Structure 1
Amino acid sequence: MTAIISRRTVLATTGALAFAGAGSPAYGGTPAPAELLEGGWVPSRADKALVGRWARDTWRSLVAMTDEKTGLPADNIGESVTNPVRSKYTSPTNIGGYLWSTVVAKHLGIISPQESLRRITQTLTTMKNVVHHEPSGMYFNWYDEATGEVLRVDPDGTRPITPFVSSVDNGWFACALMVVRNAEPRARALADSLLNKMNFKFYYNPAARPGGLMRGGFFETPPPDEETDQGNHAGVGPDVYYRKFHYDTCNTEARIAGYVGFALNQVPHTQYFATYRTFPDSCDWSWVEQKPKGVHRTYLGLDVFEGTYEYRGMRLVPSWGGDMFESLMPDLFVPEATWAPRSWGINHPLTVRAHIEHGLDDAKYGYWGFSPASNPKGGYSVYGVDAIGMDPGGYPSDLEATNYDAGFEGCREGVNPNPAYGDGVVTPHAAFLAMAYAPRQAIDNLSKIEKNLHAYGGGGFYDSVAVKSGLIAKRYLSLDQAMVMGAIGNVFGENLIRRSFASRTVESRIRPLIAMEQFESGVA
């Protein structure tokens, strides 16, 4: 396989502001140790020019998605950025992604400080005035990007919906507000006026498990087609109607809602350890992809099974689907590898290595990087490295939806432990997320995707491409483009997004918590 950078180099890239001098401010203003820079990757002039072009084109797609009057980005557009056809819906996540992308665009010199302030102020002013759940300060899942009105019909236009208030979507929007308040001081008061109303206690259910779990979200009024739990965990305002599911695994994008709850001092730290690293290793859980191995440790009085999955000689904590989005998007904001070197500092580089080895050595696609995205055949699908995910249905890495299943040792035989893969689907934003951990490999991989697969247009990389057939999903998704901008901002902007998110107060409320844990991740 292409050699991945060492863990020490990983920490140099992520923890010491990759292109800053040794005395540059790290998270919370702490000086970056000079020794972390030794052996760290340094981009060439050609690297900077190439990634700079990618950033400018990606920003062009985000501008094309954004309504000129409301400042709200559409969820997606087609391939044209000069005559964009917008989706007519957006979400708090999309809006947050546009905000932090604007911060990156200003930092990289793509737009002026004046334009940055105008765009951010326009968007935040719209959000201050849209209808939302006022007792919690939270926003509904779907809005019309052209009017700011709450959608009461599903985005595909097929059925009426009851507006939903998602914990994860509001978590990403809150992250964006936290970035804006530090990166754009002239908009701080406006960002604070929204952030200070957001109460993540509404999602925290202390009775879900020992330590408590975060709910998926709630409705303001009861939906006619879904059974809900009536209640109010925050004790503020009237009861809401909770969806019955909780987020009970650790390595998913949903951990961002807990992080924000910790940062705002609204959710107790026990919530972090109440989530599963893997499900237990008993036959009661044999429906998942493989039997985990691990040890039990106690944190904050809670028993945690530090389970891991095996893939190609690596042991790592799996995500639900084995994709980059679940594992690495929270790391755009929380410098997990630096703050938690015995857990995420080992697991994140191994996740990237697993994606590289899967694409190049296992499935032999010649390319790598797998994450939920547009399907080259149409619609939207999930993609991942199935072997490092728990989902028994699998997040496949190809169009054929090839499912890996190793079985559950001592409980059931595997149905497909040695799959033959087909037409692999790579998603460029996944490679950008990996750039903080394998910058040379990520840039080379993306260059090949552009040059050989031609999955590139006026707005940057298209959302996905099938490597054998050459089918391309020629559209741009605002979330995926925002992940691209966030990743570039961190790797080429001195950890811009992380250091803007991680104030001293935020660091004091998250770093000691995640630093105490030790995963069983490693290389056999």
Structure 2
Amino acid sequence: MRLRPLLAAATAACLLAAAATPAIAGGPREDSRPGGAGLTRADRAELKRWAADTWASFAAMTDETTGLPADNIEGDLDAASRSGYTSPTNIGAYLWSTVVAEELDLISSREATKRLRQTLTTIEGMERHEPSGMFYNWYDESTGAKLTTFPASGETIDPFLSSVDNGWFAAALMVVRAAEPAVRRQADRVLAGMDFGAFYDLNQFGGERPGMVYGGFWADPPSGTACPGTLANGTAVQFTCHHYDILNSEPRIVTYIGIARGQIPAEAYFATSRTFPASCDWSWLETRPVGETKSYLGVDVFEGAFPYRGMNIVPTWGGTMFEELMPDLFVPEATWGPKSWGVNHPLAVRAQIQHGMDQAGYGFWGFSPASDPFGGYREYGVDQIGMNPEGYYSDEEKTNVDLGYDQCRPATNPAPGQPEPTFGDGVVTPHAAFLALPYAPRESMDNLTRIETTLGAYGTGGFYDAVAVRSNTQAQRYLSLDQGIVMGVLGNVLGKDMLKTAFTRGAVERTVRPLIAMEEFGAGYADGRP
């Protein structure tokens, strides 16, 4: 779901004690609890070193005048290699990473305040879509000007308002306003004008059930396909012709924020699919889901899950760690939803480990969208725990697994009675392994340590963005978003869930926690063990 131009390298997780989440099979029971239980003092020292190096990449990416981070920078951290463009997500990643850097004593409180104030001052002067208060997708990081062409290629940009990118930006503002009193008023001023109801399709189903969130809209007709519509205030816009219709993907952060701000109805949380229904009408999927239908707030929800290696997992669209766990950086989903996310998050991590170590035999694991080591940008994932029939694959060869749709169509790869496919040059992405750290700390530490020492995919700015493990081909580049994910995880693991505590203060806990708490996913181990 996070689709971006190839040259646009990077744009488009507790408060209260609760029952512990289930243990991950094959690992210590404590490893399944969010927050990094099971880490040693030596582990934490290593994490602190990685945090310091990761922060160095942000310092190098950030323009000295505007305080805006570039989308990406090359591995040598030469300022001349900054991308020349940035996005709301990139800016948000820098904001929350600055808060983390202060918490981990990588920078002083004075420096943190200076950096945040500089960035927020620039943001207050940036052009936004005034009727909705939302920010456009691409800006020049050296001036803050809205872009209509990409700097290097000259490719035309139709200025777009992305729901998920504005969601990550608002999440950062919410963290800043709660964690940094010195700049709270500035953050509040920016946040106050953002109306997430602009992205919500109230009439999608003619009022018969709650609607979903659009991918976004253009203020003016774009060169490609769009669907004309109007905002609630009557402003004409050009919406994307798709909605984010899967719960387990990163756009759920938009729904969380919109519900907390009273701009999206609470029932919208149950409007999206856990999987599509288990009928032959959906046999274009590569796996037939298991599950049953339940009702929440008057909305019928098929609690579907995909079987994978003895587990039933609520899939993401592409089988990526990013979709599963990035919202968990800010919302303590596993704690608030012990029968939903508290089951699914550890299983999704287990699935990524089993795929990389056993099924594909890469010797490494962690799959998410990232720089392609062979050029450009690509989505990587575990195909079998993703709904996308075209697949987000874990290797450069795009090895597909299609188990067929039971009773509707046969499997194609592997065919019945045939061995599993042979996987090629698998591409692991360190930020994905970091996202797993709260749920599988020992295995995550081992995986990351070997990526650094065995593969050498590490530079002065921390882990490189991706590495193809069999050829050891490295994407020696740093992306603001992916580095921000690393900093966010480390802030929570080393800083006692600091991002979650800041983000969920007040309205988020009051409104979102009860929704998450009431649901029971169809996820779990297929043999019924806890």
Classify the TM-score, shorter chain.
over 0.9
Counterpart residue number, 1:272: 269
Aligned counterpart in structure 1 of residue 111 of structure 2, from 89, 108, 115? 115
* Partner deviation per Cα, 1:444-484 (whole Å, 9 max, x = no partner): 11000000000000000000111110100000011000000
Question: How far does residue 134 in structure 1 lie from its aligned partner after superposition?
Answer: 1.0
The question of whether the paired residues in 2 share the 8 Å contact of 1:2 and 1:441 is answered with: no
TM-score (norm 2): 0.91
Task: Give the letter for the 1:273 counterpart.
Answer: F
Structure 1 pair 230–2 and aligned structure 2 pair: CA distance change class (3 A): closer
Question: How far does residue 84 in structure 1 lie from its aligned partner after superposition?
Answer: 4.7
Aligned counterpart in structure 2 of residue 240 of structure 1, from 233, 237, 242? 237
The question of whether the paired residues in 1 share the 8 Å contact of 2:438 and 2:493 is answered with: yes
Question: How far does residue 412 in structure 1 lie from its aligned partner after superposition?
Answer: 1.2
* Partner deviation per Cα, 1:59-118 (whole Å, 9 max, x = no partner): 000111111111110000111125451001110000000000000000000000000001
Task: Give the letter for the 2:149 counterpart.
Answer: V
Task: Give the letter for the 1:226 counterpart.
Answer: T
Structure 1: distance between partners of 2:453 and 2:86: 32
Aligned counterpart in structure 2 of residue 184 of structure 1, from 175, 180, 183? 180
Aligned counterpart in structure 2 of residue 10 of structure 1, from 19, 23, 32? 32
Counterpart residue number, 2:143: 147
Aligned counterpart in structure 1 of residue 323 of structure 2, from 321, 326, 333? 326
Counterpart residue number, 2:355: 358
Aligned counterpart in structure 1 of residue 486 of structure 2, from 481, 484, 487? 484
Question: How far does residue 410 in structure 1 lie from its aligned partner after superposition?
Answer: 1.3
Structure 1 pair 218–295 and aligned structure 2 pair: CA distance change class (3 A): same
* Partner deviation per Cα, 1:356-411 (whole Å, 9 max, x = no partner): 11111111111110000011111111111111001111111111111111111111
Task: Calculate the aligned-residue CA RMSD, in Å.
Answer: 1.4
Task: Give the letter for the 1:50 counterpart.
Answer: E
Counterpart residue number, 1:447: 449
Aligned counterpart in structure 1 of residue 345 of structure 2, from 324, 345, 348? 348
Structure 1: distance between partners of 2:343 and 2:291: 15
Answer with 158-167 or 326-335: which moved more: 158-167
The question of whether the paired residues in 1 share the 8 Å contact of 2:31 and 2:441 is answered with: no
Structure 2: distance between partners of 1:466 and 1:367: 10
Aligned counterpart in structure 2 of residue 62 of structure 1, from 58, 62, 77? 58
Aligned counterpart in structure 2 of residue 159 of structure 1, from 151, 155, 170? 155
Task: Give the letter for the 2:54 counterpart.
Answer: T
Aligned counterpart in structure 2 of residue 521 of structure 1, from 503, 523, 526? 523
Q: Pairwise mapping of residues 274-423 of structure 1 onto structure 2 (< 5 A)?
A: 274-417=271-414, 418-423=420-425
Structure 2: distance between partners of 1:336 and 1:156: 40
Aligned counterpart in structure 1 of residue 255 of structure 2, from 254, 258, 266? 258
Structure 1: distance between partners of 2:57 and 2:155: 29
Counterpart residue number, 1:221: 220
Counterpart residue number, 1:138: 134
Counterpart residue number, 1:175: 171
Structure 1 pair 108–149 and aligned structure 2 pair: CA distance change class (3 A): same
The question of whether the paired residues in 2 share the 8 Å contact of 1:402 and 1:419 is answered with: yes
Structure 1: distance between partners of 2:137 and 2:47: 32
Aligned counterpart in structure 2 of residue 105 of structure 1, from 101, 104, 107? 101
| SS of match in other structure, 1:252 | coil
The question of whether the paired residues in 2 share the 8 Å contact of 1:322 and 1:384 is answered with: yes
The question of whether the paired residues in 1 share the 8 Å contact of 2:167 and 2:254 is answered with: yes
Does 1:463 pair with 2:465?
A: yes
Structure 2: distance between partners of 1:136 and 1:161: 20
Task: Give the letter for the 1:446 counterpart.
Answer: L
The question of whether the paired residues in 2 share the 8 Å contact of 1:204 and 1:212 is answered with: yes
Task: Give the letter for the 1:219 counterpart.
Answer: W
| SS of match in other structure, 1:408 | coil
| SS of match in other structure, 1:194 | helix
Question: How far does residue 2 in structure 1 lie from its aligned partner after superposition?
Answer: 8.9
Task: Give the letter for the 1:317 counterpart.
Answer: V
Structure 1: distance between partners of 2:82 and 2:398: 29
Structure 1: distance between partners of 2:164 and 2:241: 15
Structure 1 unaligned blocks of 5 or more: 19-39
The question of whether the paired residues in 2 share the 8 Å contact of 1:5 and 1:437 is answered with: no
Task: Give the letter for the 1:352 counterpart.
Answer: V
Structure 2 unaligned blocks of 5 or more: 1-23, 415-419
Structure 2: distance between partners of 1:493 and 1:518: 30
Question: How far does residue 290 in structure 1 lie from its aligned partner after superposition?
Answer: 0.6
Structure 2: distance between partners of 1:9 and 1:78: 35
Task: Give the letter for the 1:160 counterpart.
Answer: T
* Partner deviation per Cα, 1:34-76 (whole Å, 9 max, x = no partner): xxxxxx42x3221121111100000000111111111110000
Counterpart residue number, 2:210: 211
Does 1:81 pair with 2:104?
A: no
Task: Give the letter for the 1:455 counterpart.
Answer: A
Counterpart residue number, 1:231: 230
| SS of match in other structure, 1:230 | strand
Task: Give the letter for the 2:466 counterpart.
Answer: S
Structure 1: distance between partners of 2:186 and 2:271: 35
TM-score (norm 1): 0.92
Question: How far does residue 354 in structure 1 lie from its aligned partner after superposition?
Answer: 0.4
| SS of match in other structure, 1:307 | strand
Task: Give the letter for the 1:453 counterpart.
Answer: L
Counterpart residue number, 1:25: none
